[in-house]
Structure 1
Amino acid sequence: MGGDAIAVVGMAGRFPGAPDVAALWRNLLGGVDAVHDHTPAELRELGVGERLIADPAHVPAHGRLEGVADFDAEFFGVPDAEAVRMDPQQRLFLEQAWAALEDAGHDPAARDGIVGVFAGSSLNRYFLFRQFGNPSATDDWESLLLPGSAADYLPAQVAYRLGLTGPAIATQTACSSSLVAVCTAAQSLLDYRCDLALAGGVSVTEPRFRHTPGGLVSPDGRCRAFDAAGQGAAYGSGVAVLALKRLEDAQEDGDQVLAVLRGWAVGNDGAARAGFAAPGLDGQAAVVAEALASAEASPADIGYVEAHGSGTLAGDAIEVAALARAFGDGLAPGSCALGSLKTNLGNLDAAAGAASLIKAVLAVRHGIVPANLHFRTPNPEIDFASSPFFVPVENHPFPAGPRLAGVSSFGLGGTNAHVIVENAPEEAPRAGADGGWHALPVSARTPEALREALTRLADHLAAQVAAGAPPRPDDVARTLAGRRAFARRAAVLCRDVAEAVPLLRAAAGAAPPDHPAGAPAELVARASAWVSGADVEWPGTPGARRVSLPAYPFQRRRHWIEARP
């Protein structure tokens, strides 16, 4: 791969029906429809009015995000009164930005390089439905539009709370916001404006939408992308964040490389469309062709396109026609899979593009394209027979060889983004684990969080051991040693991760256990000193790499202004 490649070194997110990225992947492989049908009682609890509930055009379906009212304000040093006023989108993105850094194995306080933040968010509906005009919130409405609420301040809020000094740039291009943020972050890395970048988006919506013929919201909230019955999709809430580095730096630093961004492009449809809200074939085709050229990839190399997939007859037909034009003639029919995450989650608006990219990263990493839900009869306006595209209704394996996927996200108003993602290059061979001793340090801000962190790590390692793919203990040790050290601490010593599991469980259940017999006295002394609060330098293992481990267990509490009846 060329020097312009960008490595995905960490991912985090919360999605309808999935509290993290691992759960999202399980749901995608399991064909889970995570769109929730709200009952009238649930709608009333959200503050939805009786007139809208009774409206036959109202769509009570929604990609619901559990716990959207909850936030670990203490972790980020946010006073409770400020947390209640803060846009929940900013709170969600803050937590997942930290989780993405932990997934990448980097503590920004310990880094020499510059970390940037690039993000977009949806309209602040919390302000509209719970604060505006509510005397119990404030009489100073202008103050509510300042840093805790306005979309402009989302990346700056993250930079302030996490101590990041690189570019902090908000991208607001409707549904394409988060994928445009990824493209902006990737270019900033190539320009050496930062050395590590967080990129993504967040959206918090509620089931207050109505179906209108030809509109974006389907009558039952299900997205039937590329299907003859397509009438739009439900909206949903979610947050998605990716940690990015220059590929050469990631390999040199021993980072995990989940996938590689080979090329990207951003453009606009201009005036060549039926109206401001209508998609443009020429603009979409141009941005896909530009991304392919940027990646120096042939259309024949692409095994899967994660499409925008709005689920509307006209929108889907224009998108496939644009893809066919960009891909050109001569490709074998049925050679490229076509799918849309909206069929599983609904439309996550400003978070949609980054969530789709996470799906594509997982697909090229594991070599599986998840089934596209709700596809029965092809959209009659799409000429699948003369195109290379097909819609998989079952999980579909990638063809042999390098695995490349394209990801599209198109914003209302015509701003289009497309990214080419490829499976990670093969890791350089290294010697097997030497069977030596390693320290696994775990810390948290509170005793409750420490117990949960130890339990999560034990469960994660046990599951990998049971699956026959245990991580190397030196990799786990290096990753944990690179995380922020908080006041509440525990450390276990082990020679392999199977040995570590019961020790971690014991540490979570009561006082830390005695270290195993035979553990080196010098390592025991370091572990004891660290648990007592000292700063220690953990012994490194040559060749150890960072790996994905469970993120910090936030201790969330409800910070919320209830909707008025």
Structure 2
Amino acid sequence: MHSVDASCIQQENTGTERTAIIGIAALTPRAVGAEAYWTWVRDKSDGMREPAHWAPGEPVVDVARFGIPPVQARSMARLQLLMLEAADQCLTDAGAGRAGGDDRTDVVVGTCFGLDRQYANALRIAGSGYAREVERAALTLGSPEAAENASQAADELRGLLRRTLGAAPHDRVGEMASTIPARIASAFGLRGRTLAVESADATSFLALAQAIGSLRAGLADRALVVTGQLRESGVLSSLLRSKGLLGPAAHADGLSEGVGALLLKPLAAAEQDGDRIYATIADWHVRHRGRPGAFRHEVSAERHRDTIRAAHRSAGAGTGTVGYVERAGTAADEADDSELAALEAEFVAAAPVFGTVRDRIGRTFAHAGLAAVTTAALALHHRTLPAHRTRSGPVAAASWAPPEDSAPRRAAVTGASFTGTLCHLVLEEHVPRPHTPRHHADRGRTEVARAVPRGAGLPEPIAVIAYGGRFADAENADAYWQLMLDGHDRLRPVPADRLDRELHYAPGALSLNRSYTELGGHAAVPQSPPRGTGIGAERYAAMDAAQRMTLAVAAELFGRRAGRPLTGRGLIALASNLGLAADRQAHVDGSLGELEDRVRELTAFKALSTPEVERLLDTARRTYGRPAGPTPDTLDGALASGSAALLAGVYGLEAVPLAVEAACASSLAALDAAMTALRNGTADYALAGGVELPCSARDMALCSALGLLSHTRITPFDTDADGFTPGDGCALFLLKRQADAERDGDEIVALLTGMGAANDAKSLIAPDVEGQVRAMRQAFAQVPHAPSEVDYLEAHGTGTKVGDRVEIAATGRVYGGPERTRPLEIGSAKGFVGHTFAAAGGAGLLRTLLALRTATLPPNTNLHHPNPALELDTLPAVLGTRAKAWPAAPGRPRRAAVSSFGTGGINYHLLVEELSPVTGGPGRPNALRDDEPKDGTGLPR
């Protein structure tokens, strides 16, 4: 096929606004700072001889500069420190500094696999079980000295693990990936959207896509994108090598470290504000082909070429105009060859310089895409082609001559993921246009004018066309709704295989390694894959429990569609903890040798001979369970975005997989990403939701250490509320634009009409009224109705006195007032199934959809004495304790809202309504037909 060049693409305004890169930060072990980074990548052409890693404690980051209390600093992940530094450098580079009070700057962080604090916490808690096996082995060794000192040795080992691995009350907050953007938001007063994302080695590209999508939707004025990859566990390289993504252990081509940041802004605004513009992102294209079986790179050169063509078509810039192509360099072997073949074929007319960031900073996996974009942007800014390698040998850096047709210099960046995702971006140099820079006073007036999201106006509603859920005792959505109608919680003692009472339960006591409660909304994880998925036993066994749960719920969701196909481009955005249990367990398994070394050094066993100690260790190893080495399936099962990639593969979807973490607001953050992609036209359908299983020794112990759990059971809005009870769960929703759903004849369950998001930019722990109000008001700026026309609020309802009081106060600020003609009904699913963390917003939305579908207001449970401090009468609002009919107001549909707030000051607010009973339409909810027979759930048969 012929290449796509300037002759076959019209050079015209595509209607898509360019995005300006106005700030850059780069931190690598070889170069720190944008200038040092440019010098390094400009002049280096030979390959990396050794993977680049920072020495322990480097680079030095002064946490005091960011106003971090010492008690929290002890629990901070190393990546959090480096990303704070990168954010500071990037904002400073852009001349932004720490202005504070910025409501319209998003912070998007991209990283992959666990953080050092996650691994340390996992090993510390799992090590307690290993210490017990050491004690038991000592008692059976046949040595009086060993038996006499067995208990002392176990206690000594546990103490040693606490000291060397660290242990502090804030560990649960400090280890979360979403704490990083939240910490950045707090440090610099950035109060827009804050979230962390992961998509394997395409993570950087998807982080950039999320940021640009928010800017184009008018939801933000600036976006700070920070990505990074650290080698926090020795097992990570083993997992990557088992998948063929790194060279052999003795090979130099291992995993390198790197962190960087870009500050983005719509081009017109950047020009108006007189910002220095490094380069502009003209457009981008990301695609994914779901294929059955293990995750693997795309090896079709033709699909690579299709991705390249699509990006240049949407950018209005032919491949023949490109002078430099930067390869992120994440693919390996056959996939690397097919990528290069596609690039050479598509760019044959331009004969550009080909470079790869992998030769300059090594394989940085999740960070590789942003590093490549940074390199291309700096090359455009300096009008210099970096040094590179050709088949004939190295070529030195050279001046970049301008195109003969006076067009701007252009560069392209390409990358891929081992899950099968392909990515391509088109960049242009900035050619200044005549304009009148705004004075600072003018900028202030503009920001006030943007209090209502620019361009958000009245966006098209998004239709929910299918759903599924699994929580506590409810194995599907219908059972979940029946559970709500029954009015009784499903909180009970967590099974012993999830919470070992001897090791990890201490009722009534605060401990760093034990939980003071044994209650949870435990949900059984399926032990076999759904029929028809074609997943073998070995692969299924290697999956994380969250992946298995997601697979089961997806089978329910797609079962409701009766096999109707999905066509076009899709997005699968799933909320999750970005460090899965399988990832942490792989680290624990790989650390057995380290634990054994520590046993050899215990003073309690000094009297034993070396052979006796080795026999003891051999016995403990057998009873503890010696882990097998990693297989190619191990990496797939340890990947947070693996849940999304798994669904794409099983159902053959052309849908890009993305994992999203925004603390307890993660599900709504994932839905927000999906809604934005649909409204921007970068997706034709989206599957979104969340999954997490916190009924585990690790989660319960870490939450207990900070006093977050209820000593009895979660009771939202009650006088006796003293914290939450954890719950397992998963909820998924299939979305389309309303017009597309009606065109395709899809049943429309309900409409998602507005989504607001904001960060408090204050405390990481304590909630803030103002931040929640901002999120609510942003949602209402997107709809034509007032808050007084919303009948029901599915509240976050964590069951903490402060959290409940702040949530109701914020609700009163927005929903209260004399225009409200009937009380706002408020409820929370958490009283029934517990707090499901990343899945919490999904649990709330599912309950709300089923309430709309059945015209039934769901009850609260365990609400015996509503807290008078909430002052519900002044709203006015009511907390129902029994299910009741939901009458529709004359002339308008039933309307509801869902709130979700997370640690780190992350706030999301979603507006939902039924399809209008006045207009009806192809997707009119069946529940509006009072004459249709219903089953015990209140749902149509």
TM-score, structure 1 normalization:
0.70
- The residue that corresponds to 1:52 in the other structure is 504
1:124 to 558, 566, 580: 580
Partner of 2:655, secondary structure, is coil
In structure 2, the CA distance between the partners of 1:403 and 1:114, relative to structure 1 (3 Å rule), is same
Which of 748, 753, 774 is the equivalent residue of 1:262? 753
Output the aligned Cα RMSD.
Answer: 2.9
Q: Is structure 2 residue 493 aligned with structure 1 residue 37?
A: yes
CA distance in 2: counterparts of 1:349 and 1:191, whole angstroms:
28
Compared with structure 1, are the counterparts of its residues 334 and 88 closer, same or farther at alpha carbon in structure 2 (3 Å cutoff)?
Answer: same
Which one has more relative contact order, counting CA pairs under 8 Å at least 6 apart? 1
Q: Distance in 1 between matches of 2:814 and 2:684?
A: 32
Match of 2:53 in 1: none
The equivalent of 1:83 in structure 2 is: 540
**For residue 932 of structure 2, what is the aligned residue in structure 1?**
469
1:407-452 residue CA offsets vs partner (Å, 9 max, x unmatched):
011111122111100012347589xxxxxxxxxxxxxxxxxxxxxx
- Equivalent runs, 1:245-394 vs 2, <5 Å: 245-271=736-762, 275-332=763-820, 335-394=823-882
The residue aligned with 1:544 is: none
Q: Which residue of 2 aligns with 1:166?
A: 655
Counterpart Cα distance in 2 of 1:305 and 1:418: 10
2:708 aligned residue: 216
Q: 1:346-401 CA deviation, whole Å, 9 max, x = no partner?
A: 00111110111011111122221111111122224312221222211222333432
- Structure 1: 5+ residue runs without aligned partners? 431-463, 472-546, 550-565
CA distance in 2, matches of 1:307, 1:285: 14
Change (3 A) 1:130 1:370: farther
Taking a change above 3 Å as real, the CA distance of residues 139 and 422 of structure 1, as seen in their structure-2 partners, is: same
Partners of 1:313 and 1:213 lie apart in 2 by 18
Amino acid paired to 2:840: A
Report Cα offsets for 1:92-146 as digits up to 9, x if no partner.
11232243233234544xx4322321101235335546983375433459x7873
Q: Counterpart of 2:266? A: none
Check 1:200–1:10 CA distance in 2 against 1; reply closer, same or farther (3 A cut): same
Amino acid of the structure 1 residue aligned with 2:932: A
Kept in 2: contact 1:218–1:232 (CA 8 A): yes
> Hey, what's the Cα distance between the residues in 2 that align with 1:352 and 1:358?
10
Equivalent position amino acid for 2:726 in 1: Y
1:22 alignment counterpart: 478
- Out of 897, 909, 916, the position equivalent to 1:425 is 916
- Equivalent AA in structure 1 for residue 676 of structure 2: Q
**Change in 2 beyond 3 A, CA 1:107/1:37:** same
The AA in structure 1 aligned to 2:896 is A
SS at 2:782's partner residue?
helix
Matching residue of 1:205: 694
Shift of residue 318, structure 1, vs aligned partner: 0.5
Contact 1:62 1:207 in 2 (8 A): no
Is the 1:306–1:408 Cα contact (8 Å) retained in structure 2?
yes
SS in structure 1 of the partner of residue 467 of structure 2: strand
Find the aligned partners of 2:887 and 2:932 in 1 and give their Cα distance: 24
For the residues of structure 2 that align with 1:229 and 1:333, how far apart are their CA atoms? 31
Deviates most, 298-307 or 81-90: 81-90
Change in 2 beyond 3 A, CA 1:115/1:101: farther
For residue 65 of structure 1, what is the aligned residue in structure 2? 523
The separation in 2 between residues aligned to 1:16 and 1:335, in whole angstroms, is 31
Superposition deviation, residue 289 in structure 1: 1.1
Please point out which of 114, 139, 144 is paired with 2:569: 114
Q: Is this contact kept in 1: 2:709–2:723, CA < 8 A?
A: yes
Do the aligned residues in 2 keep the contact of 1:265 with 1:287 (CA within 8 Å)?
yes
Relative to structure 1, is the Cα distance of residues 379 and 243 closer, same or farther in structure 2, using a 3 angstrom cutoff?
same
Question: Among 90, 97, 110, which residue is 2:554 paired with?
Answer: 97
Q: Name 1:474's counterpart in structure 2.
A: none
CA contact (8 A) 1:176 1:411 kept: yes
Q: Deviations over 1:15-40 (max 9, x none)?
A: 112111111111111102111234xx
Q: 1:91 to 1:83 in 2, by over 3 A?
A: same
Alignment CA distance shift 1:311-1:166 (3 Å): same
Structure 2 residue runs without a partner (length 5+): 1-456, 510-515, 590-623
Give the letter aligned to residue 29 of structure 1. L
CA gap 1:332/1:376 in 2 versus in 1, 3 angstroms: farther
Q: Identify the residue that residue 627 of structure 2 maps to in structure 1.
A: 137
- Percent identity over the alignment is 30
Task: Report the CA distance between 1:320 and its aligned residue.
Answer: 0.7
C-alpha deviation, 1:217, in angstroms: 1.0
Question: CA offsets, 1:181-234, max 9 Å, x none?
Answer: 1121112111122222111011123253257598321012x2211111001121
Are the aligned partners of 1:226 and 1:375 in contact in 2 as well (CA < 8 Å)? yes
The 8 Å contact of residues 569 and 683 in structure 2, kept in 1 or not, is answered as yes
Residue number in structure 1 paired with 2:329: none
